[in-house]
Amino acid sequence: MVNHLLSESSPYLQQHAKNPVDWYPYTPEAFAKAKKEDKLIFLSIGYSACHWCHVMAHESFENEGIAEILNKNYISIKVDREERPDVDSIYQTFAQITGKNGGWPLSVFLTPEGKPYFVGTYFPATSRYGIISFPQLLQKLLDVFKSQPQDVRKAGDEILEVLNHVGEYHGRETPKQVNIKALVGEKKDPNAIFGGILDRFLDTLDFNDGGFGGAPKFPNFSSLLFLMRQISEEYLHPSNPEDRQDTIALASGVKIALDKMMNGGIYDQIGGGFHRYSVDAQWVVPHFEKMLYDNAMGLRVYSEAYLLFGDEKYKRIVREIIEWLQREMLTPDGGYIATMDADSDGREGTYYIWTKSELQSILSPDEQDLCFRLYNVSDRGNFEHKTNILTVKTSIPELSAHYKESEEKILDRIQNLKLQLLKHRQNRVYPHQDTKIITSWNSLLLDGFFAASRIFADSQYKIKIQGIIRSLSQFLITKMIDPQTNHVSRIFMENKVKIAGNLDDYAYLIQALIQDYLNGGGPSQYSRLEGLFRTVMEEFWDEKSFSFYYSPISSQDVPIRPKIEYDMPLPSPTFVMVSNMFLWGEISGDSEALDKVHQMINQYFPKLSKHSNAGATFFLLLHQYIYGNQEVVIFTTQESQDEVSEKLHTIMSDFYIPRLMFMPIYSSSGKNKLAESKREAVHYSSISQFSLFICQNRVCSPSISKFENIQAAFNSNFLPRNSLK
């Protein structure tokens, strides 16, 4: 049996192409058919790595009896939320405003005119745990529609009206409710802004098991990033000596989270990479799918954690994630695939779990002793059917003391153990991979690679990362950006692009390309960024409410144009874009962009400052706005640029500089207004190798032209690595 999904390229839609349900893709034809035949629409949203999507598919969508009910009475539409996050966003909001938990699969019922009427998530094929069965739900909704069609349509109209207002923020009406600069005051005390925000984070920060709140636990990488940046600033510039102790206490909470996650089952101890979330509060049992975006954000967070705390284990995790990405997620085209499934061989997690007897059959007695001690392996196990999810239960120093061997020797033994288990694991049934390449997720990854390149500045591994950066940057520029229109596509698959980019595709891409430009990307990158900024303002800017829509103006097939202000769990595309505008305004001298940044921060602060984790990206922007960018501008001669750049990167890798704007200038001309403002102090004819400035809030140090003076200047301005170890 086949349906209308057979010709779709989405791996998720292909998973349903042979269901007895007569699925349609999200097309005008499907909606027209529903209206013509006066049938309710069943809109099912999921993604290919979603475990509960698979469960509902096997229980209901492969059931011919249920399919018969759907085919006779409904028009059934399947949506891949990774292809159409705009559609997903609308109906996740619908779930939230009706008091239900969102998630996937999302089951939405629409009127024949396409207006939302009822929403839920997973429904079992037979009623259990107090949840109505899917067939009962279908019949009940159908009966209501047949007996009260006008009431159903009226409800749809009212719900759509509510969604329209949820998607609008009327902050423009009262933009002067708060003035951030005034709140900071003449004393330059950011605690006036961040004190209450940090209190809300502390209310949920788990100092025992790490992370925020209880089960289920998500990594919340953006929150950890914000806390680390706030910790560094408070440690460098405490209001009074007692504050530094509070900062150290907060730092310990962040380190607990970082350590517990990397040592828990949420992290793949053998192959590397983070799973999506933990179903328990101790990070032991993960929801086993691996998402590209989690690991992209993990790269940045653990890279910055290494520079802040100086702990070598964070550097090892970054390297492991990169090796996993290169081994299992990289495509021949140069982009990285979206997801790895939670399920394999018909069960969730089968690819990742171990019985003690299986490990005994693989490993020598010495290897067994190390494995069981390191990963707390037992006969009873810590997962279903007496299996073990490997979690680290002892430290390298403890193992070194136990075996009376150096830590280097222990690390070598662990690496050999991992390689042996990885080789054995590769003989198992491999999880399904969703091979589409998503612009926004790959752009987050490129940003993560830039962060990682800083921590390997003094090693050969940096050369490898630089090659990875060049390859991914080239893929995104050549495949995902139309050079004629500066429009960005969202999906690359089967050697072609599809679907117009949403705000996150543009925002994350611009964020990464700004990093590329600041690391010597040159005039062509500057021009490309100019074009992308123009397109964003044309396609997404809402002048009425002074904010950004999520879907482009050209999008005609959504009932409303949503706005995404919160992190969920990806960084808010709205505030990534505002952060881009802030950087670009500084670089280009675009005062209009800076004016918009000031206005948006002031108008959104009353709303978003009441949150913690969901507002983390806004707080990162606020942090950047209040404390200012940390600018390192260096002018070099063409002949000495490579030598100077290499030495400078080595020096910078010894410091935590989270708001760094590194601007190497290799010629006597350019468009970078921020760098050009320093040029008047530089006479190229007198430069022997370089002339360097350290600037913050448009105040610059005197020119530095000797390497031995750079180290002292950095010590005075930035936080040295190991300060908070």
**DSSP type of residue 5:** T
Alpha-helical runs (H) found in 589-679: 591-608, 616-627, 641-652, 673-679
Question: Rounded distance, CA 437 to CA 493, Å?
Answer: 6
**Residue 489: beta bridge partners?**
500
Question: Rounded distance, CA 605 to CA 693, Å?
Answer: 33
Q: Per-residue pLDDT for 471 more than 90?
A: yes
Amino acid at 462: K
- pLDDT tens sequence across 95-133: 999 989 889 999 999 999 999 999 999 999 999 888 999
Q: Please compute the mean of the pLDDT values over residues 310-338 and round it to a whole number.
A: 97
What is the pLDDT at residue 690?
A: 84
Phi, psi of 691 (to 5 degrees): -140, 120
Q: Is 709 exposed, middle or buried (0-12, 13-18, 19+ CB in 10 A)?
A: middle
Q: For residues 12 and 677, which has the higher predicted lDDT (pLDDT)?
A: 12
The answer to whether the beta carbons of residues 644 and 689 sit under 8 Å apart is: yes
What the block records as the tokens of 100 is 């239900």
The answer to whether the beta carbons of residues 548 and 540 sit under 8 Å apart is: yes
Superfamily covering domain 11-166: Glutaredoxin (3.40.30.10)
Give me the residue spans of the domains in the chain: 11-166, 180-341+437-603, 357-427, 630-720
For residue 207, the Cα-to-chain-centroid distance in whole angstroms is: 24
The answer to whether the beta carbons of residues 716 and 701 sit under 8 Å apart is: no
Q: Which residues of 180-203 are buried (b: 16+ CB within 10 A; e: fewer)?
A: beeebeeeeebeebbeebbeebee
The answer to whether the beta carbons of residues 187 and 596 sit under 8 Å apart is: no
Confidence band of 459 (pLDDT split at 50, 70, 90)? confident
Contacts of 328 (CB under 8 A, 6+ apart): 271, 273, 340, 433
In the CATH hierarchy, which top-level class contains the domain 180-341+437-603? mainly alpha
- pLDDT tens sequence across 641-690: 888 888 888 999 999 999 998 877 765 445 666 666 665 555 545 567 78
Q: Please compute the mean of the pLDDT values over residues 344-352 and round it to a whole number.
A: 93
Q: Per-residue pLDDT for 511 more than 80?
A: yes
What is the pLDDT at residue 666?
A: 62
> How are beta strands 286-287 and 277-278 bridged, if at all?
antiparallel
What is the pLDDT at residue 519?
A: 81
Question: Rounded distance, CA 625 to CA 202, Å?
Answer: 23
Using only C-alpha atoms, what is the Rg of the chain?
Answer: 27
Q: Per-residue pLDDT for 239 more than 80?
A: no
Question: Rounded distance, CA 14 to CA 22, Å?
Answer: 13
> How are beta strands 630-636 and 660-665 bridged, if at all?
parallel
Q: For residues 627 and 4, which has the higher predicted lDDT (pLDDT)?
A: 4
Question: Rounded distance, CA 213 to CA 205, Å?
Answer: 6
In the CATH hierarchy, which top-level class contains the domain 630-720? alpha beta
What the block records as the tokens of 507 is 């925002």
Confidence band of 172 (pLDDT split at 50, 70, 90)? very low
Distances, alpha carbon 345 to alpha carbons 352, 431, 462, in Å = 12, 8, 38
What the block records as the tokens of 334 is 């140069």
Q: Per-residue pLDDT for 191 more than 90?
A: no
Q: What is the DSSP string of 315-364?
A: HHHHHHHHHHIIIIIB-TTS-B-SEE-SEETTEETTTT-B-HHHHHHHS-
Nearest to 316 by CA among 308, 305, 330: 305
The answer to whether the beta carbons of residues 55 and 117 sit under 8 Å apart is: no
Q: Let me know if the fold of 11-166 is the same as that of 180-341+437-603.
A: no
SS (HEC) of 540-592: HEECCCCEECCCCCCCCCCCCCCCCCCCCCCCCHHHHHHHHHHHHHHHHCCHH
> How are beta strands 690-696 and 699-700 bridged, if at all?
antiparallel
CA pseudo-torsion sign 122, 124, 125, 131: negative
Q: Please compute the mean of the pLDDT values over residues 420-431 and round it to a whole number.
A: 96
Mean pLDDT over all residues of the chain? 92
pTM of the model: 0.95
Alpha-helical runs (H) found in 238-280: 241-263
